[in-house]
Amino acid sequence: MTHKKQTLGEFIIEHQASFKYSSGELSSLINSIRLAAKVVNHEVNKAGLVDIIGQFGETNIQGEDQQKLDVYANNKFIQTMTNRNIVCGIASEEEDDFISINSQDEKHQNKYVVLIDPLDGSTNIDVNVSVGTIFSIYRRITPIGTPVTIDDFLQKGSQQVAAGYIVYGTSTMLVYTTGDGVNGFTLNPAIGSFYLSHPDMEFPEDGNIYSVNEGNYLDFPLGIKKYIKYCQMEEDERPYTSRYIGSLVSDFHRNMIKGGIYLYPKSTKNPNGKLRLLYECNPMAFLAEQAKGKASDGFTRILDIQPTELHQRVPFICGSKNMVEKAEEFMREFQ
């Protein structure tokens, strides 16, 4: 006898009471992300058929070339969340500054801010490799009734109330947490609904996959070089395997299911690291910890870092707990 799979909408309603700020707004917000994800997924899946692949012709605040689909996804997520009238502010990796949003009926009455990487790994679009969206949600800390300020966005990752990602891969999945474990939902494109397919996702405590761009090996700190060599040694029955896609969402997703570690350390080219604390590292660290994994900059828990700017970069090591702790051991030993 087969059981009817639960939809994301049903799951949100059923679990709303377990969320400590059970007002319905967060549920509406997750629903608006779900809606935007379906629209972006539709464009990603036909990217080769329409004039949406390739570069947009502009660079973003990071100095990176924007892809056409980057711009499309950014606009679609901002538009969907703004139209639903449920957030008071949005910060995007693609925007120079945060966006303050008035609620239509009463000014600035909404409680949540969203930080988003609309299309992570977008340089992979042209070659048909999985890309994703990463989102992070906080309760505002400035008084309700006033416009949001930068302080609402520069909160430690430990203050997140929800975070998640959508991976546009062989199937499209939405994976998220509200601080009560991690659950994954797969889109049925025929019906247009996400169904609970991966309940209570957890990192295996140990894994045998390490994910790092070894092309940057010479620029890495000594601790990371030593850890990579440790992963490559075969003694003690330690046959680790290297798997690196170059899409954080895809690498993280695989490692959470199979067990592994993802490393994007600082380097001589990127002395502060490459990944963005607010749009990539904090949401992924929150997910990792909720899935019994670990996330660190090599020395400090990611969720304990106090952000100082919207587009701050940090080194990032994340994945199966024992593997991350081993990498930290090498970082401390070869500081």
pLDDT tens digits along 244-275: 999 999 999 999 999 999 999 999 999 999 99
Minimal CA–CA distance to 266: which of 217, 225, 315? 315
**Average pLDDT score over the chain:** 89
Rounded-to-integer distance, Cα 264 and Cα 318, Å: 9
Q: Is the predicted pLDDT of residue 81 greater than 50, yes or no? A: yes
Of the candidates 302, 214, 321, the one whose C-alpha atom is nearest the C-alpha of residue 259 is 321
Residue 10 pLDDT exceeds 80:
yes
pLDDT for residue 61? 59
Is the separation of the CB atoms in 88 and 141 below 8 Å?
no
Written as one letter, the residue type at 294 is: K
Express each pLDDT in 274-287 by its tens digit.
999 999 999 999 99
Q: CA-CA distance, 67 to 266, in Å (whole number)?
A: 25
At residue 142, the 3 state secondary structure works out as coil
The residues, ordered by sequence, that sit 6+ positions from 181 with a Cβ below 8 Å of its Cβ are 200, 201, 290, 291
pLDDT of 114 higher than 70: yes
pLDDT category of residue 220 using cuts at 50, 70 and 90: very high
Least confident of 65-69, 238-242, 250-254: 65-69
- Higher-pLDDT residue of 65 and 279 is 279
**pLDDT recorded at residue 316:** 98
pLDDT of residue 48: 58
Q: What is the mean pLDDT of residues 18-30?
A: 75
| Cα 187 to Cα 36: distance, rounded to the nearest angstrom | 13
Confidence of residue 333 (pLDDT cuts 50, 70, 90): very high
Predicted pLDDT at 27: 84
What is residue 270's three-state secondary structure?
coil
- Give the DSSP H/E element, type plus range, for residue 29: helix 25-45
Instruction: Encode 71-93: b = buried (16+ Cβ within 10 Å), e = exposed.
Output: bbbbebbbebbbebbbbbbbbbb
Residue 133 CA, chain-centre distance (Å), reads: 7
Q: Residues annotated in the binding site for substrate, as ranges? A: 213, 244, 262-264, 274
**161-281-206 Cα angle (round to 5):** 100
| Position 2 pLDDT exceeds 50 | no
Per the annotation, binding residues are: 93, 117, 119-120, 213, 244, 262-264, 274, 280
Amino acid identity of residue 252, one-letter, is: F
Say whether pLDDT at 157 is over 70.
yes
Options 1.10.1740.10, 2.60.120.650, 3.40.190.80, 1.10.472.50; which CATH number does 209-333 get? 3.40.190.80
Stretch(es) of the chain classified as CATH 3.30.540.10: 8-198
Reply yes or no on whether the pLDDT at 98 is more than 50: yes
pLDDT band at residue 106, thresholds of 50, 70 and 90? low
Give domain 8-198's CATH number out of 3.30.540.10, 3.20.20.370, 3.40.309.10, 1.10.287.110.
3.30.540.10
Dist. CA 53–CA 44, nearest whole Å: 9
Structure confidence by residue, pLDDT tens digits, 127-143: 778 899 999 999 999 99
Residue ranges of the chain assigned to CATH 3.40.190.80? 209-333
Q: What is the DSSP letter of 109?
A: -
Which residues define the annotated binding site for Mg(2+)?
A: 93, 117, 119-120, 280
Q: Which of 24-28, 145-149, 244-248, 288-292 has the lowest mean pLDDT?
A: 24-28
Average pLDDT over residues 222-245: 88
The one-character DSSP state at 223 is H
